Amino acid sequence: MARAIWTGAISFGLVTIPVKLYAAVQSKSVKFNQLDGQDHQRIQMKRVNAATGEEVPYARIVKGYELAKDRYVIIEPGELESLDPKKTKTIDIDAFVDLAEIDPIHYDHAYYLAPAPGGAKPYRLLVDTMAETGKVAIATVVIRSKEQLVALRAAGDVMAMTTMVFPDEVVDPKTLDEIPNADEIQSSDRELAMARQLVESLADPFEPGRYRDTYREQILAMIERKANGEVVSVEAPVEGEEAPAPDLMAALKASLDAARAGDDADAPAKKAPAKRKAPAAPKAAKTPATK
């Protein structure tokens, strides 16, 4: 059973909806401990003075902001606490916007909001209204002494809340040196037409279940084999020479031909079962088509 990590209320206008916050994503990355290669004992990380090599007790550690090399401004805990935003326990909605207006680059961590006691009716009303209008609520909330910019949206029968980065945290793509100048490099109509055909040939509804973390699965499988006493052989990867960049039109045509060939190969497999009949079976007992 999931446990709430925060409780508070959604506030907009004169409406207040008590809610509980739950994590919407669970990391499944394989984590390793650092061990001594000789006796496989855990490695301890110690706080050490870089100049003296002396281990420093936690109570003696202070926060410092580096202005220049070896020059710091020391900030005391009380000074930071005086700047903490007021903990209102309220998700204050500032505006409702269209989902398409939000660039996904602004999204950070995902959560679910569930109604707290007494909030079921207004919670349901807000979820239904946001789903019907296609609007997303932009709000602010203080979580763990940090003010967060968040987006609230309807996700089926549940309200999802995603923390967002502030605008000044997004890197301006104009600062990237490698981006080609659109005035200097332009796509021809023929290139655009072929690229569009390739995109359309690969178009498909998004099905999250189709995708798996195969690297994690391989790591876990290897761990299980080694835990069972199996010796795992390691082959060094072969580094080949970097191939020259192919001709763009030739690459587009080859990709499009491969995509079409894949579609043609799948078509008979999908149609074949519908044509077969079970031996000595009545007409109604045809094998259904594979979906």
CA-based nearest residue to 256, from 190, 204, 196: 196
Section 7-34 average pLDDT: 91
What pLDDT does residue 188 have? Answer: 85
Question: What ranges make up the beta strands (E) of the chain?
Answer: 6-12, 15-23, 63-68, 71-75, 90-98, 107-115, 135-143, 146-155, 158-164
Quick: pLDDT tens for 256-274: 788 877 766 665 554 444 4
Section 217-224 average pLDDT: 88
What pLDDT does residue 117 have? Answer: 93
Section 119-136 average pLDDT: 94
- Is a pLDDT exceeding 70 seen at residue 241? no
Give the C-alpha separation, 61 to 64, whole Å.
10
> For residue 119, what pLDDT band results from cuts at 50, 70 and 90?
very high
Domain 6-25+87-169 adopts which CATH fold? Answer: Ku70; Chain: A; Domain 2 (2.40.290)
Between strands 146-155 and 90-98, the pairing is: unpaired
* Range with lowest mean pLDDT among 59-63, 183-187, 200-204: 183-187
Give me the torsion for CA of 236, 242, 248, 249, rounded to 10°.
Answer: -70
pTM of structure: 0.70
- Is a pLDDT exceeding 80 seen at residue 7? yes
